Amino acid sequence: MSPQSQQKFIQYLQTDLGVSDKAIDLALRCQELSRGQLHMVLWQHGLINIEQLGKAFEWQANKTVCLSTCDS
């Protein structure tokens, strides 16, 4: 994920899903070690629930579809 896309994703997590700044900071530090996806790291550490995880996957999938079709 590009830095710009990641920032938009973080903004989505904070504004739409209500994920705290502290949870995002923790997940970003853990993500560097595990090289996992941010939303998976949040879920693995109990910082988001399964419903929020599903919404995060949907957001990412919709963003990916838009990037491949919106630029055409």
| 70 has a pLDDT exceeding 90 | no
Q: Is the model more confident about 38 or about 71?
A: 38
> Average pLDDT, stretch 36-53?
93
Query: Burial level of 13, CB count in 10 A (0-12/13-18/19+)?
Result: buried
| 51 has a pLDDT exceeding 70 | yes
* H/E run at residue 28: helix 21-34
> pLDDT tier at 63 (50, 70, 90 boundaries)?
confident
CA distance 50 to 33: 23
Question: What's the helix, strand, coil split of the chain in %, to 5?
Answer: 75, 0, 25
Asked if residues 37 and 5 have their Cβ atoms less than 8 Å apart, the reply is no
